[in-house]
Structure 1
Amino acid sequence: MWIRPVAALALVVAAPGFAQGQAAAPVAAPSSAPSPAQIVAAAPAADWVAIAADQLLVMDLAPGRDRAARRVVIQLLPAPWSQGWVGNIRKLAAAHWWDGTAINRVQDGYVVQWGDPFAEDKARARALPAGLQSVPQSAYTLAAGAAPRLEGPRLTDGIYAASGRFYQGWPIAAGSGASPETWPVHCYGTVGVGRDMPPDSGTGAELYAVIGDAPRQLDRNIAVVGRVISGMEWLSSLPRGKGEMGFYRQGKERTPIVRVRLGSEVPGLPMWQYLSTSSDSFARYVDARANRRDPFYIRPAGGVDICNAPVPIRPKP
């Protein structure tokens, strides 16, 4: 089950205070204006939300040539989006199914993908755990009545969705009309479910992480199930595959996966926090990303790509 490559496109969304398509007038940058990083650093402790260990998926790769440990930590998407696939992923991790599998594909500017190297060979493929759901394509989105109320700044989107907002620290797109659908979006570091041709939607056994420009054209076509919050450097720096779509041609080129566990199974795992997307600090952070007023900038852009306003995540102090 492999996702197929498509050209990545940019999404530009208008920030609060700017109508879609309205150009920002040149403004001198006052030296006292805080940068986004300064706003995040000044956010009070009450604006930070802990990420529970059972929301994390911990993947340990085989050490590289320098023998350094290579750990990748993935935060799983919260309910109600993609929960059929997320439930399958939890079962796969509990069964230690990924232990001894590999990273099989690294396509430059696009994705890193991992799972069973022999998934398409019925004679050699490893058996999946019992009880995995078959999730329908309709689950890529949620109807308005099934989705919780979104929060944070409303970003106007004229390309892939009518608008974008946030929910519990996650970027969520919304359609138009009286009862718009909502769906999680593909940004740098997003983790999704590899699949074969429709109507197959994947089980969650094959996963990928975005290592290039946000491939938003994949939204509503493939399930988003999480995001990398630590160890992204281990994935983005892997050797690129020379085969079609970035697959490795030889087994020795693959990076072995030693183990994958839910965070609640990993002793001594550090904890992380995200900046609450309903907080005033986050609203000021997004505005500062859209309208840079700190000394380096000459004029504000008047808008920000929803993937270029990443929700700040930090280790718990």
Structure 2
Amino acid sequence: MSVPRLRSLVLSSALLFALAAHAEEPAAAPPARSMQEILDASQPADWRPLDPKNTLYLELEAGRVVIELAPAFAPAHVANIRALAKGGYWNGLSINRAQDNFVVQWGDPAEDQAQRKPLGRGAKAKLPAEFARSSERLPFDRLPDADGWAPEVGFSSGFPAGRDPAAKTAWLAHCYGAVGAGRDVAADSSDGTELYVVIGQSPRQLDRNITVVGRVVQGMELLSVLPRGSGPLGFYTDPAQRTPIQAIRLAADVPKKERTPLEALRTDTPLFAELVESRRNRRDDWYKHMAGHIDLCNVPLPVREAEEPPAPAKKKPARRRR
């Protein structure tokens, strides 16, 4: 074989080897997106509107607090809360407690039962404890990491939740912004009139010990900045410190033009899974170590104002032919 032909074969073989080696290399993964980039890329189907029948407006002089109720976990309490709101039970009452790194609580400040405000039409004075429910046929978007308070954690219809597959039970978690129904020592001593919201580090020891009825989706800053009470458990000793409640209403009972049109990011989509991973392993330049773990209560649950659908174009009247 001639030298030029041998050289040509060697070069051809080298080229084929290089091409084969390159073909075996895995394709470079696309760069990880930040949380904001993920939200910017979301589509309308990634969001769900809040149901007006399950949305409460807590009206304060400082503004509106929006609460999403969770009837799938606390049906009896939510039904009572709806009845109380329809009857204007909380109108004119007050926020009576602000305990640092724990909760803000509102309701009737009267300690004597005889002096307390009547519940009103349709509201029940006795409710069952609704600490947990069956997990069968319950939607559940599980997180990948272990949790110290539950065998499994994730989200159910947008609410942070725990689940025990062995016991086939599930429950809502006491994350920041969770709204619960205060009770006495007896498990079934809540009637839904004394509500609180978590304003501090998530007190997960309360899970399955108190009925969680929903979560604040907008307006937490109006509650978390309230002055702390100096009495036991953060209750205000001076009535002048209490924050008056102008009204608590169901969004469904508020004229549409006066509602706050919110929608929450769905937790059952690939986009939300990507968002969780973006917070679980922070890849931006500031972070030097990726945690590989995220706590249930540290997963953000974005909410935004719903965009108004474009008005249909008006049809021009047809011109008459002469």
Which residue is 1:157 aligned to?
Answer: 146
In 2: Cα distance, 1:281 partner to 1:244 partner: 45
Q: Is the 8 A contact 2:81 2:193 kept in 1?
A: yes
Give the TM-score, by structure 1 length. Answer: 0.83
Which residue is 2:316 aligned to?
Answer: none
Which residue is 1:285 aligned to?
Answer: 275
Which residue is 1:144 aligned to?
Answer: 135
1:184 and 2:172 are equivalent in the alignment:
yes
Which residue is 2:118 aligned to?
Answer: 127
1:170 and 2:159 are equivalent in the alignment:
yes
1:274 and 2:273 are equivalent in the alignment:
no
2:217 aligned partner, one-letter code: I
Partner of residue 92 from structure 1, selected from 84, 90, 103:
84
In 2: Cα distance, 1:227 partner to 1:199 partner: 21
- Relative CO higher for 1 or 2, CA cutoff 8 Å, sep ≥ 6? 1
Percent of aligned positions that are identical = 42
Gaps of at least 5 residues in structure 1 are 1-29, 64-68
1:247 aligned partner, one-letter code: F
Give the TM-score, by structure 2 length. Answer: 0.81
Partner of residue 94 from structure 2, selected from 93, 96, 102:
102
Of the structure 1 ranges 271-280 and 35-44, higher mean CA displacement relative to structure 2 is found in: 35-44
Displacement after TM superposition at 1:169 (Å)? 1.2
1:74 and 2:83 are equivalent in the alignment:
no
1:70 aligned partner, one-letter code: G
Cα gap change, 1:219 to 1:186, in 2 (>3 Å): same
Q: Is the 8 A contact 2:139 2:157 kept in 1?
A: no
Cα gap change, 1:136 to 1:155, in 2 (>3 Å): farther
How big is the alpha-carbon RMSD for the aligned residues of Structure 1 and Structure 2? Answer: 1.8
2:160 aligned partner, one-letter code: P
Size of the alignment, in residue pairs?
276
Displacement after TM superposition at 1:32 (Å)? 4.5
In 1: Cα distance, 2:187 partner to 2:246 partner: 32
Gaps of at least 5 residues in structure 2 are 1-28, 308-322
1:306 and 2:293 are equivalent in the alignment:
no
1:298 aligned partner, one-letter code: K
In 2: Cα distance, 1:158 partner to 1:71 partner: 34
Q: Is the 8 A contact 2:263 2:306 kept in 1?
A: yes
Higher helix fraction (1 or 2): 2
Partner of residue 116 from structure 1, selected from 105, 108, 111:
108
Displacement after TM superposition at 1:176 (Å)? 4.1
In 2: Cα distance, 1:34 partner to 1:80 partner: 33
